C-alpha cells in the first residue's frame, strides 16, 4: 500500500461502504465546526470537550483545551485522538502555529489533542503550581479520567501572576471546581472579558436547556465547601463570555448566574444535611486521606517510600490514628501513625515499604485503616507497589 491520494481515496471509499453495510446508514465523515466568538477567539463546537482557540494577527495561537474530534463518543474512544482538527485549523482560523496550551483541568477529554499539538507544532504547556504535578505525573494520583502518560509543563503561572502572550494577558488560578485540580482562566481581548471555567457547569444544563447546574462527580474531589464559591467566582471576575467545558461559549446573563448561586446554595445545604460526617467535606472528598504517589513500580526485594497525606476539613483541630498494613508479605514502617492536625491543614507522613524477595503476586497493596476523632472509619485509602 502506498500513501498516495488515489490509494487513500480508494481505501476511504471501501471503508465507507463497509460502514454502510454494517450500520445500514450512510457514512458521514467528521468535520470540525468552528465558530468565531470574536475577532481573535474561536471555539470548536463539536469537539468533546469543547476546544477554544485564541489567535493573534500573524498566525500564532493559544489553545484552551483540545477535545476529541471524531464520530465515536468518548465512552467508546478513550485515549484515542484522531486528528480531524489541525487539517482545518489554518483555513478556518488563520492559526498556523499553536504556541501554548492552557488546560482548564486534567481530564483526558480536555487534554486529548495535546500530544498531537506538541508533535505538530511543538506546543508548550502552562499550568498553575497546584495542577502541574497531576499533568506531569498522572500515575501518582488515584483520580478518574487520567491520561495514560504525563506531559511536561513548560511554564508555571502563580496565582497572582499574569501570563503575557502577544498582547493578551491571561490569569490562571486553581480553584476546586468539577475537580480539585481545576483552573479558572481569565483574559481580555476584542473588548470582551472571557472566563474559562472548564466543567464547573454540567453539560446537562445545555443539552436539556436548563439553568446552570453543577457537574457533579464526587470522585473528582469536589469539597462541599467549594460549591457556593463557583458562581461567586464568576461574578467576581465579571466576564462577558463564559467558556464552558461541554456547552461552548456562553454570553453571561447576570440573572442566570444569580439563579445558579441560589441552586448551588441549596445544593450545599442539602448535602451538608445529608452526609453523615462531622464535616460534609469528609463525605465528598474521597482522598482526604491519600497515598502519594498512588502507584510505584519496584522490583521484588526493593524498598519504596510513600507519603500519606491527611487533610483536616473540619473547623477545629482533630486527632486520630492510622494503622498501616500491606499484602503479599510486604512490610510497612511505621505500622501506626498518631494524628494531630490543625483545622484546615494538610499533614504528610513518610512511610517505608519493603517488598519481599519471593514473588507470589504482581503487586502489593498498602492499606490505611483510619480512626478519626475517636470514630473508626476502616480502610479508607490505599497505595500500590507493582513490578
CB atoms within 10 A of CB 22: 9
Site of grid cell 469539597: 223
Cis peptide before 247 (omega within 30 of 0): no
Q: How many CB atoms lie within 10 A of CB 263?
A: 18
Specify the length of the chain in residues: 387
Report the DSSP pairing between strands 318-326 and 241-244: unpaired
> Domain 31-273: which CATH class?
alpha beta
- Chain-centre distance of CA 170, in angstroms? 19
HEC string of 297-348? ECCCCCEEEEEEEEECCCCCCEEEEEEEEECCCCEEECCEEEEEECCCCEEE
Cell for 219?
Answer: 470522585
pTM of the model: 0.93
For the chain, the structural domain boundaries read 1-28, 31-273, 288-386
Q: How far apart are CA 105 and CA 127, in angstroms?
A: 9
CA 218 to chain centre: 13
What cell does 358 get? 519471593
Pick the CATH number of 288-386 from 3.40.1160.10, 3.30.450.40, 2.60.40.2310, 3.40.50.450: 2.60.40.2310
Fold agreement (31-273, 288-386):
no
Reported as a single tens digit per residue, the pLDDT across 139-163 is: 999 999 999 899 999 999 999 999 9
Of 195, 197, 214, 196, nearest to 205 by C-alpha is: 214
Query: How is residue 231 written as a grid cell?
Result: 458562581
| pLDDT of the residue at 78 | 62
β-strand pairing of 336-341 with 192-198: unpaired
Dist CA 198 CA 45 (whole Å): 14
User: Which residues in the chain come in under a pLDDT of 50?
Assistant: none
- The stretches of 194-253 forming alpha helices (DSSP H) are 204-207, 229-237
End-to-end CA gap in the chain: 40
Amino acid at each position: 500500500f502506498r500513501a498516495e491520494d488515489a490509494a487513500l481515496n480508494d481505501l476511504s471509499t471501501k471503508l465507507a461502504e463497509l460502514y454502510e453495510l454494517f450500520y445500514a446508514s450512510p457514512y458521514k465523515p467528521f468535520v470540525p465546526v468552528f465558530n468565531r466568538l470574536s475577532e481573535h477567539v474561536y471555539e470548536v463546537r463539536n469537539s468533546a470537550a469543547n476546544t477554544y482557540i485564541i489567535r493573534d494577527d500573524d498566525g500564532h495561537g493559544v489553545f484552551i483545551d483540545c477535545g476529541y474530534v471524531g464520530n465515536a463518543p468518548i465512552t467508546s474512544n478513550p485515549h484515542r485522538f484522531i486528528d480531524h482538527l489541525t487539517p482545518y485549523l489554518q483555513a478556518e482560523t488563520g492559526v498556523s502555529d499553536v504556541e501554548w496550551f492552557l488546560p482548564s483541568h486534567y481530564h483526558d477529554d480536555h487534554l486529548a489533542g495535546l500530544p498531537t499539538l506538541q508533535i505538530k507544532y511543538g506546543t508548550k504547556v502552562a499550568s498553575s503550581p497546584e495542577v502541574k504535578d497531576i499533568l506531569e505525573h498522572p500515575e501518582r494520583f488515584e483520580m478518574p479520567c487520567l491520561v495514560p502518560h504525563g506531559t511536561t509543563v513548560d511554564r508555571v503561572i502563580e496565582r497572582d501572576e499574569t501570563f503575557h502572550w502577544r498582547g493578551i494577558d491571561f490569569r490562571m488560578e486553581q480553584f476546586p471546581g468539577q475537580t480539585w485540580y481545576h483552573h479558572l482562566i481569565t483574559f481580555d481581548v476584542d473588548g470582551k472579558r472571557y472566563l474559562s471555567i472548564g466543567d464547573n457547569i454540567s453539560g446537562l444544563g445545555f443539552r436539556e436547556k436548563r439553568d446552570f447546574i453543577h457537574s457533579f462527580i464526587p470522585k473528582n474531589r469536589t469539597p462541599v465547601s467549594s460549591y457556593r464559591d463557583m458562581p461567586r467566582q464568576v461574578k467576581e471576575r465579571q466576564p462577558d463570555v463564559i467558556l464552558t467545558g461541554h456547552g461552548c461559549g456562553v454570553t453571561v446573563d447576570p440573572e442566570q448566574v444569580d439563579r445558579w448561586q441560589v441552586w448551588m446554595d441549596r445544593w450545599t445545604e442539602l448535602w451538608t444535611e445529608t452526609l453523615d460526617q462531622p464535616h460534609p467535606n469528609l463525605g465528598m472528598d474521597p482522598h482526604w486521606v491519600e497515598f502519594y504517589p498512588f502507584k510505584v513500580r519496584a522490583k521484588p526485594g526493593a524498598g519504596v517510600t510513600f507519603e500519606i497525606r491527611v487533610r483536616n476539613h473540619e473547623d477545629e483541630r482533630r486527632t486520630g490514628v492510622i494503622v498501616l498494613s500491606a499484602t503479599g508479605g510486604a512490610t510497612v514502617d511505621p505500622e501506626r501513625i498518631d494524628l494531630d492536625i490543625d483545622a484546615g491543614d494538610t499533614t504528610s507522613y513518610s512511610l517505608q515499604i519493603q517488598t519481599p524477595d519471593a514473588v507470589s503476586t504482581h503487586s502489593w497493596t498498602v492499606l490505611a485503616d483510619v480512626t478519626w476523632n475517636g470514630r473508626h472509619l476502616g480502610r479508607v485509602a490505599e497505595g500500590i507497589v507493582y513490578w
